[in-house]
Every structure is written in C-alpha cells, then in structure tokens.
Structure 1
Amino acid sequence: MTTQSEQPAMVTPPTTTAASDDGVTPVTGWQGSSDYFALREYRAYDPHAVVDVLRGRVAGVIFRGMVPQETCQELATRFWASTHRKRRGVEAPGYYLGTYHYHKPTLTYLHESEEVAAGLDAVLDGLPADPLTAFYGGLADVLQREGVTVRLAEHDGRQACRALLRSWHGQGEYALAPHDDRSQCTEPQQADFEIQRVAEREVAALNICLENGGGGRLAYWNIQPDDESKRRLGLHYTGSPYPLASLSGIEMKWVDVNAGDVYVFNGAHVHAVEPNTDPALRRTTLAGMLGFRDDTTVISWT
C-alpha cells in the first residue's frame, strides 16, 4: 500500500456545544477531516504507514496478523508465568510487567525502568519472531533514509523502559476508561524529561495484541481535547478519565482487535478499551509510546 501525501489533513474547527442533560459540558478541541480520522488497515507491516501517524497525516494504522500466533501465545504464556508481573487495582485487578511513566517524577520512572529490565528481558528475549525488533527495526531503517534516529528516551544517560506488557480487567462500560496520552506528557514532575518535547508534536501509542477474547475493541474519538477542556475537567496533567457525557456528539470509531494485530494511533485523541464480553477471557498487549523529539530523533518510552 502506498503512503499518504506529505500534506497534512484538512481539519474541521471545533464547535461550542451546550451542556449535556446531566450538566457536563462537551469537550472541545482539534478534530480531523474524514481523510485523516481513520485507522487504515494493512495486511503486512509497512513502516512508512507508522511515519504517517508520527507526522500527523493520519490518525492511526493497524497491521493485521503481523505477529505469528505462536509468538503471541509464547509471549502471553511468559507474561502470566512471570514472577515479575505486578497487580494493579482490587475489584477488577489488572496486571502488568514493565513500568509506566504516568504521574511520576522522572527519576522514579527511570529507577523503575532499571528494576524491571531483567524481568522484561526474560519474557521478551529469545523469541523466534520478536515483534519489537521487527517494529522498531523496520521503522529505524525507513527513517534513517530521512536522517532520523530511533532510540529509547533518555535522561542523564539512563534509558526509559522498552515496553510494557499489560492486561486490564475493568468490567464497567470500558475496561480502560476514556483518556488521552498527550496530557500525561506535560506532568510538571517530568519537566526535565525529553518526552515532554514529543507533546509539542504527535504522541503515538503502540499496541501489539497478544490475546483477546470476545469484545476488547478500541474506542477512538475524533477529538484532541484543548487545554480549556482539560482544565475544566481537572485532567490537564493526567488526561484521564473523560466523562462519557463530555464526549457526547463527538464522532467515534470502534476498532476490532485480534491476537497478532499491531496498531499505532495518535494518542492525543481520546480513546478507551471495551471490556471482554466474557470476563474469563483476557486481553493482553505489548505496548509503548513513541514520537518525534525533534526533526531528527524519534524516541520511545512506556
């Protein structure tokens, strides 16, 4: 498939709308045109398509069946067997291996990244078909021709976590509540961390689906909330959770996700994850975030 035009998508201006019936004012912000707001599907990995997301030409892309089923099964088995796996939550607990930068001081995140490195290596290394190497290696090869380097985010010589394995089990309307990923990249406790430079451009979310039962779709709204909306809702540095009433009337797409699919989308848009229709089934992903730090560097973190 061919890559998209170098020209950015035309945008529709945000509109001011009245409060919903329960008194919540709808979110306002940037909305993309119909050409932009899509998760374009590919039958094979095309790193050029990822560049389109990183450069803001399209909302997202999904590579169907990119990861072999045996690799998905092996990674999922290793994740659930790992003694380094941690639990999050009580009533509907989730589980993860790795660490996430969300709402933490820079040094705390980097220290945790170092602590979990060995546990991650035990799960991710030695695979016959390593999806992370395939994804980032292909992206690096393509961007190298443009003079762009792809690497882990760094601070004072210390590196960010390379990936996050996770399985969220929320059983409300969404397993993972509506949120955006750009807001957390403006956390004041991380003002010294280079990922905040990505927030000035496009913050992309990478998800590699390892297992998914019934349901588990991605919900994706055509809105990048503005600062006024975030401050009004108290989400300026967290980006989570957006009340469903605040998203009323905003275009939303459901995206089916299957084991082996790899999808990358602009995380500045509000998005959420549908719970599995069968609570006994699991939705497990290998995830990360990435974006242009400057014109010549793409960095990744968790």
Structure 2
Amino acid sequence: MSNPVFQTSAISPVAIRERTGSISTAEILSVLKGEITALHVKQAFSTQIAEEITANFVGSPGLRERKDGVPGQYVGASHYRKDAATYFAESETARPYVDALFGNLVDPVRALFDALKRELHNQGIELRLARSEQGQANVCRALSWSDGGTYSLDPHDDVAQVLSAGSEYELSAVANNTVAALNFYPSIAEEGGNLRLWYHKPTVTDRKSQGVETTGYPYSDSYLEDVPCREFQLRAGDIALIDGGFVHGVTRQSRNGKRRLVLNSFFGFARQDLVLWWT
C-alpha cells in the first residue's frame, strides 16, 4: 500500500500570464488548448459593477450554506458530488437568484460567454451550457469560502469531480481535455484569500494515493510540500482563468472587513466541435 505522506508529487510544466486590462478570447482559447496554465487579468471589470454584485449576493434570498464538506456560502448550483438529475433541477431553481445577482447591470460573465461563443462559432465550434432533461446549467455560481483552517479553500483539482460525474452527465467527456476554471472576483478580503496554484497536475494514480479519486479534494500539505507554487494577489475586478487539472486552493483570509466573493464557472471541449459550460 502506498503511503500518502511519502508519495512523490511530479512537477508539471506551467505557462503563466499576468497583465492588466480586458480578457481576450484568444487567451481563453489558449487555456482551453493547454497552451496557458493560468491567466490572471487585473482590473478586468469595473469596481462599481463588482460592488453591486457583492451587495446583491449578501442580500440574496437564494443565499445558501454549503453542506457537501466544503465550507462556504453560495448562490447557484454545483455539480460536485451530485447526480445529474439533482444538479440540473437545482440549477433551474437557482436561475432567478443567479440572474438577480446582476440586476440591471451588464453581466461580465455572460458578456465573456457570448464573446467566446461568437469566436468559437466562427471556427465551426458550438459553445453552450451543459443540459439534460431536467434543465440546463447556469452561466455561473457565486461563492464565498469560509473554511477557518490553513486555507479558505483547501488544495484540490477540478478534474476528478468531472471524471467521476457519471455517464448521465454529458460534461464528463470534458475530463479527457482541459477543464478550465473561470473566476471573476467582485470582492476580496483585506488580507489573504489569494489564489495559489501548485505546479502539479495529478494523475488518476496520484488521486488514488491521496484518497481523492472521485472528489479531487483535499490534497495534504505533506503531499504538496516539495512542489513549487505560484500565488496570485487578487483585487476586486480581477479575473483568473486556470487549467483546473492543476492543484489549486485559496489562502487563509482575514475575517474582518470585506468578504471574498467569486463568480465561478467551468468549461471545456467535450468534442472537437463542442465546448460545454457549467457550474
């Protein structure tokens, strides 16, 4: 039997890009194709929009506490550890609350989705929300992590949960390609709450050794202690887009003052001519 403490973590090559301004569809496609591992765009959407989204989240009647072992509050739906029927039914129920986060604002997530949809259409590729007979995914979910330990969100990867989603999910095919994780940040804690990415893309064998084969959550400090990492200093109005197959987490954050709020989505190629988007 392998011992997780002594499991050797392979260091994976990374390509990281940080800059200020608007996110481009070319960069998004580079992440989807595995050419860029992580993209951090500073001041990518207005702080005024960010503040209004945050206020709408705090006052949302759709605000819920997570009860799946990952501490936090949310508005929307997550496919994590749910069968497809449950997830899509919850997505339909949550849709008005997700829409209400943006009110009469220009929705920056939908704007990115629509721009990417047009670009992919020009290349003969369809981009759409994942769906089933029970409904379809929302364009994003809003999350505020609240773990009080070493991390606000423990180190994890996003591929395991897609691999193990099951055949009733059409999105499970994306696990064969890059699972891109897209984060918009309307609010950031005064201290901490940074995105940390380790230079390690676990295999199925790696996940088995850590007992996270179906969830990808959480990886231990001992497993990652010899793996280099990059920490992204986030501000309200930033966007981060990463290859979710790499281990990543959120550093501990201050409890006083502003909360850390993220608008999160996943997307990736299910086929050469189809990119699916979900939460």
Change (3 A) 1:299 1:125: farther
Structure 1 runs of 4+ off > 6 angstroms?
A: none
Change (3 A) 1:84 1:244: same
Instruction: Write the distance in 2 (CA, Å) between the matches of 1:108 and 1:29.
Output: 36
**Residue identity opposite 2:77 in structure 1:** T
2:108 to 123, 128, 131: 131
For the aligned residues, what is the CA RMSD? 2.2
**Which residues of 2 match residues 18-167 of structure 1 at below 5 A?**
24-29=5-10, 31-32=12-13, 36-88=14-66, 94-127=72-105, 129-156=106-133, 158-167=135-144
Shift, 1:157, TM fit: 6.9
**Which residues of 2 match residues 1-302 of structure 1 at below 5 A?**
24-29=5-10, 31-32=12-13, 36-88=14-66, 94-127=72-105, 129-156=106-133, 158-187=135-164, 190-213=166-189, 214-302=191-279
Instruction: Write the distance in 2 (CA, Å) between the matches of 1:298 and 1:161.
Output: 15
Question: What whole-Å deviation, never above 9, does each CA across 1:87-145 have from its counterpart, x for those lacking one?
Answer: 236xx952100010001111010111111112112223421x32012211221222222
Count of residues paired in the alignment = 277
In structure 1, list runs of 5 or more residues that go unmatched.
1-17
Partner SS state of residue 110, structure 2: helix
Question: What whole-Å deviation, never above 9, does each CA across 1:190-219 have from its counterpart, x for those lacking one?
Answer: 322111110000000010000002211111
Instruction: Write the distance in 2 (CA, Å) between the matches of 1:156 and 1:27.
Output: 43
Instruction: Write the distance in 1 (CA, Å) between the matches of 2:192 and 2:128.
Output: 34
Instruction: Write the distance in 1 (CA, Å) between the matches of 2:144 and 2:45.
Output: 18
Shift, 1:30, TM fit: 6.7
In structure 2, list runs of 5 or more residues that go unmatched.
none
Q: Which structure would you say has the larger Rg? A: 1
CA contact (8 A) 2:20 2:43 kept: no
Change (3 A) 1:233 1:248: same
**Residue identity opposite 1:99 in structure 2:** A
Instruction: Write the distance in 1 (CA, Å) between the matches of 2:135 and 2:234.
Output: 34
CA contact (8 A) 1:211 1:259 kept: yes
* TM-score (normalised: structure 1): 0.86
* TM-score (normalised: structure 2): 0.93
CA contact (8 A) 1:29 1:223 kept: yes
Shift, 1:42, TM fit: 4.3
Instruction: Write the distance in 1 (CA, Å) between the matches of 2:146 and 2:241.
Output: 22
Instruction: Write the distance in 1 (CA, Å) between the matches of 2:155 and 2:21.
Output: 28
Kindly, what percent of the aligned residue pairs are identical? 28
Change (3 A) 1:93 1:203: closer
Partner SS state of residue 215, structure 2: coil
1:11: which partner in 2? none
Partner SS state of residue 77, structure 1: helix
Q: Tell me which moved more, 144-153 or 176-185.
A: 144-153
Question: What whole-Å deviation, never above 9, does each CA across 1:224-279 have from its counterpart, x for those lacking one?
Answer: 11111111211111000000100121120011111001111000000000122344
**Residue identity opposite 2:12 in structure 1:** Q
